[in-house]
């Protein structure tokens, strides 16, 4: 039975009409494909790829040779950007109201930037930096952006503060804002709820698995006292089962991701979702492994599960931790070598 089509009034604006059309198509079609229908055809055509020669022109396996040389921080940026774009494609697919025209154009431009140059550098391409948030770990891990020698402990930035407030229980947060703007007398008279004097992490709606905490440090106190205090704080944090990460990706794992063409597969399958294309496993195997050393079985049993694991929030969160350790070590060695050169010169 054909879906019931909502009635469209005669006199409505373009924006309303655009939204209503999206609602109509959303009954049966992928919203990604709606906006991509440049021929205004009545039906959205499914593209069936039968041979490697029919793949899009932008796809070139040589573009992914850089994967052989990147480390944790590089993999973090590559995976994070693709995770964002993959997630937005799903949003476009299931929520047509998410796909406003301007956002969709930005999205398509960001995807095109990745297709043109899969070795993503978000800072150097406005199509990416205007669409993919540079906050969080990425802001700290980018060589052109980090200024702190220690990434494990650092001063809270204004961005950190704003993002932290967003994660708080909003009813509690608004109560606290109202209270702090009251007069001294009114504040003293107000009976505060118990959670006002609990740690910030206990008032968050999104706990980040306890990964980050916010501290108040009195820098007028002696170093020894502060260090002893921090050791006690760390002990209590570990008692909350906030433990150091024990999972680290090895160079051999990175090499495996590169050899199996994880990023190439992710980009190709994202293109297929957007363009409503079907790429048989045989064609994918021929495209990714032209030497014939791997085939359809490798794609089905090894590559697909691996990509699902790699292009995932847990993976790039772990990579951010690993990258921070790598950067700390590099900066430490750089500072040490600078000090040694200065001593030798003097």
Structural domain containing residue 328: 14-148+250-332
Paired tokens of 230:
């921090």
How much is the pLDDT for 135?
Answer: 57
Q: Are 156 and 162 in contact (CB under 8 A)?
A: no
Question: Band of the pLDDT at 233, cuts 50, 70, 90?
Answer: confident
Question: Band of the pLDDT at 265, cuts 50, 70, 90?
Answer: very high
How much is the pLDDT for 208?
Answer: 56
Q: Please indicate, yes or no, if residue 199 is contained in any of the structural domains.
A: no
Q: Which residues pair with 168 in a beta bridge?
A: 204
pLDDT tens digits for range 64-88 = 999 999 988 889 889 999 999 998 8
Paired tokens of 156:
């809270």
How much is the pLDDT for 81?
Answer: 92
Count of structural domains, the chain: 1
Return d(Cα 161, Cα 42) in angstroms, integer: 49
Q: Please indicate, yes or no, if residue 141 is contained in any of the structural domains.
A: yes
Q: Please indicate, yes or no, if residue 293 is contained in any of the structural domains.
A: yes
209 pLDDT more than 80: no
Q: Please indicate, yes or no, if residue 45 is contained in any of the structural domains.
A: yes
Question: Band of the pLDDT at 287, cuts 50, 70, 90?
Answer: very high
Q: Please indicate, yes or no, if residue 244 is contained in any of the structural domains.
A: no
137 pLDDT more than 80: no
Neighbours of 238 (CB within 10 A): 11
Q: Please indicate, yes or no, if residue 214 is contained in any of the structural domains.
A: no
Neighbours of 69 (CB within 10 A): 10
Q: Are 118 and 67 in contact (CB under 8 A)?
A: no
Q: Are 31 and 25 in contact (CB under 8 A)?
A: yes
Which stretch, 103-112, 176-185, 211-220, 326-335, has highest mean pLDDT?
103-112
Q: Are 85 and 110 in contact (CB under 8 A)?
A: yes
Residues 335-339 have a mean pLDDT of 50
Residue that wins the pLDDT comparison between 244 and 298 = 298
Question: Band of the pLDDT at 16, cuts 50, 70, 90?
Answer: low
19 pLDDT more than 80: no
How much is the pLDDT for 300?
Answer: 95
284 pLDDT more than 90: yes
């Amino acid at each position: 039975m054909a879906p019931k089509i909502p009635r469209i009034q005669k006199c409505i604006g373009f924006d309303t009409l655009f939204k209503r059309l999206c609602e109509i198509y959303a009954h049966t079609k992928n919203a990604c494909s709606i906006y991509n229908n440049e021929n205004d055809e009545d039906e959205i055509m499914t593209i069936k790829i039968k041979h490697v020669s029919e793949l899009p022109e932008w796809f070139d396996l040589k573009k992914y040779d850089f994967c052989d040389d990147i480390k944790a921080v590089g993999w973090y940026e590559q995976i994070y950007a693709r995770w964002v774009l993959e997630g937005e494609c799903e949003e476009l697919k299931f929520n047509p109201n998410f796909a406003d025209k301007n956002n969709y154009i930005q999205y398509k431009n960001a995807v095109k930037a990745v297709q043109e140059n899969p070795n993503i550098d978000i800072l150097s391409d406005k199509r990416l930096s205007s669409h993919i948030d540079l906050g969080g770990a990425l802001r700290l891990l980018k060589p052109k952006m980090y200024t702190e020698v220690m990434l494990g402990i650092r001063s809270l930035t204004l961005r950190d503060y704003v993002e932290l407030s967003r994660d708080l229980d909003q009813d509690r947060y608004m109560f606290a804002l109202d209270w702090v703007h009251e007069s001294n007398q009114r504040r003293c008279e107000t009976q505060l709820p118990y959670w006002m004097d609990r740690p910030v992490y206990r008032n968050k709606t999104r706990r980040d698995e306890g990964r980050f905490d916010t501290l108040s440090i009195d820098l007028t106190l002696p170093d020894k006292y502060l260090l002893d205090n921090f050791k006690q704080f760390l002990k209590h944090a570990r008692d909350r089962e906030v433990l150091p990460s024990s999972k680290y990706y090895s160079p051999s794992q990175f090499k495996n991701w590169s050899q199996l063409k994880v990023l190439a597969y992710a980009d190709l399958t994202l293109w297929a979702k957007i363009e409503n294309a079907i790429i048989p496993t045989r064609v994918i195997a021929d495209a990714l492994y032209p030497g014939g050393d791997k085939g359809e079985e490798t794609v089905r049993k090894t590559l697909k599960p691996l990509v699902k694991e790699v292009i995932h929030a847990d993976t790039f969160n772990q990579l951010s931790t690993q990258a921070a350790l790598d950067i700390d070590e590099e900066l430490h060695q750089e500072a040490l070598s600078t000090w040694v050169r200065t001593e030798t010169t003097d």
